[in-house]
Every structure is written in structure tokens, then in C-alpha cells.
Structure 1
Amino acid sequence: MSTAPHLYSLYQQLLDQSLIMLRHASEGQWDELIACEMEYVRAVQNLAEATQDLDPSSSVQEQLRPVLRAILDNESEVKRLLQARMDELSKLVGQSSMQKSVLTAYGKQGGHVLVPQESRDTPTN
């Protein structure tokens, strides 16, 4: 088997997986993204094993460069989308914690609403 077609195939599989992951992340399909992650990792492992003892020619490397750039760009975008999701979840957790604190403080008052009393020096109408 020639090295170049085999490498192209492995890189293409990795690119395909990265595109699937990017689509899931872009559409907010987080469960699907996580499920695809194992296939992506498997594709990376297959590529790593296949290239461990290879020394592809400079022309093969040059032809693979755009595919690798696309893979890296997709991975960067997935990471950016994941970070945005983490920020969103962190904000929601913070709001939830604040609501819990308010409810806890209110509960400690025994359900009584504390209203400031008027000062005796304040004239009444």
C-alpha cells in the first residue's frame, strides 16, 4: 500500500469527524458532540499509529497541509463554542446560587417581610 493515499484517507477521516463535531457545537447539540468525541479520538489515534514510523515526502506533507489546517481551525472553533457554553452555564449556576441565597435568607426571616418603620421625626401627611 502506498503511503500517500493511506495518509490522505486517515486525514480525511479526521477532517470529517472534526466537521461533524463543529456542526454539533454550532447547533448547540452538546450531547451529540460528546458522543462524537470518541470517534474523533479514535481517528486521531489511528493517524498517530499510522504515522509513527513514516517519514512522508515534502510533497505529501505539502498536500496534507490544507487538510491539517482545516482540522485545526475546526478544533479551535469547537473549543471557542465550548468555552462560550461553559461561560453561559457558569452564569446560570451563579444566578441559581444567588436565588438560593435570597430564598435562604428570606426563609430565615420566618416568612415575615421586614418593612422599615417611619421615623418619629418625619411628618405625616
Structure 2
Amino acid sequence: MSASETARENAQQTLIDAYAKLLTCVRQMHELANAEQWAELIEQRTHYVMSVEALRSRDAETVLDEAARKRKAELLEGILEHDVEIRRRLVARRDELGKLISVSQRQRNLHRAYAPQQGEVAGFDVPSDQEKGLT
């Protein structure tokens, strides 16, 4: 085996290993989403995005043989399946947070609308010192 063939095989294996690491990472992210561990998920997602960016240039430079292309396709399929489920969970969480924000805003608006009136009503209920004849 020539040096160039060895280098090509090493480059292929490095690329496939990088995709396998991405699959492991996205599996962990899926578990975090299912466990509703949102802060950890976001942190993991940051590392995932950086790994994808690093992989992008390596992928463009590496020529794969048929077996490596097939393995890459299998890994990508797994990555995408998990990614779809993570996104589904994130959308559900976003919707849940949106509802909570809406309820909170309505409560705040009600408080703003009725709190001043409650103060005025309380003022009518409590007689002043003058009304009590204490001055």
C-alpha cells in the first residue's frame, strides 16, 4: 500500500470517526431533551454546532470510497433522525414557554389595571384622623 493510499484511508477514517462522534453527541442531546434538561441541552448544542463547522471543511476535502460513503450516509441518517426529534421537543418547549409568558403578561396587566383602584377603595374604607375627630 502506497503512502498516498494510506493517507487517503486515514483521512476517510478520521472523517467517519468525526461523524460517529456527532451521532453520539446528538444522541446525548436527544436524551437531554427527553429529560427536559434544557440548559445542558443548549450547552451541548453549542459544542455540536462547533463540531459540525469543523467537520464541514474536512468533509469537503476528503474523497470517500463506496464503503465509507455508505457508512457516512448511515451516520447522517441517524444524526438527522435525532435532530428532528430534538427540534420537535424544542418547539414544544418554546410553545410551553410562550403560553407561560402570555399568562404572566395578562396577570401583570390585570394587576396594573386593578391595583390602583384597590388602593383607592382601601382609602375609602379607612377613616382619616380628622374623620375620627382626633385632630
Correspondent of 2:60 among 37, 44, 52: 52
Instruction: State the match for 1:83 in structure 2.
Output: 91
Task: Name the structure where helix makes up a greater proportion of residues.
Answer: 2
> Aligned AA for 1:17?
C
The normalised TM-score by structure 2 is 0.76
Cα offset, 1:55, TM superposition: 2.4
Aligned equivalents of 1:93, 1:7: Cα separation in 2 = 44
Cα offset, 1:17, TM superposition: 0.9
Correspondent of 2:116 among 84, 90, 108: 108
Identity of aligned residues (%): 30
Q: Can you give the 5+ residue segments of structure 1 that lack an aligned partner in the other structure?
A: 114-125
Where does structure 1 differ by over 3 angstroms across 4 or more consecutive aligned residues?
Answer: 110-113
**Given that residues 18 and 71 in structure 1 are in contact (C-alpha distance below 8 angstroms), is that contact kept between their aligned partners in structure 2?**
yes
> Aligned AA for 1:53?
E
Aligned length: 113
- For the residue of structure 2 that corresponds to 1:97, the secondary structure is helix
Aligned equivalents of 2:118, 2:12: Cα separation in 1 = 75
Correspondent of 1:9 among 17, 20, 37: 17
CA deviation profile, 1:12-37 (whole Å, cap 9, x unmatched): 11111111111111111011011112
Cα offset, 1:108, TM superposition: 3.1
Aligned equivalents of 1:56, 1:4: Cα separation in 2 = 6
> Bigger CA drift: 77-86 or 52-61?
52-61
Aligned equivalents of 1:62, 1:21: Cα separation in 2 = 24
Bigger Rg over Cα? 2
The normalised TM-score by structure 1 is 0.81
Residue 26 (structure 2) pairs with residue 26 (structure 1): no
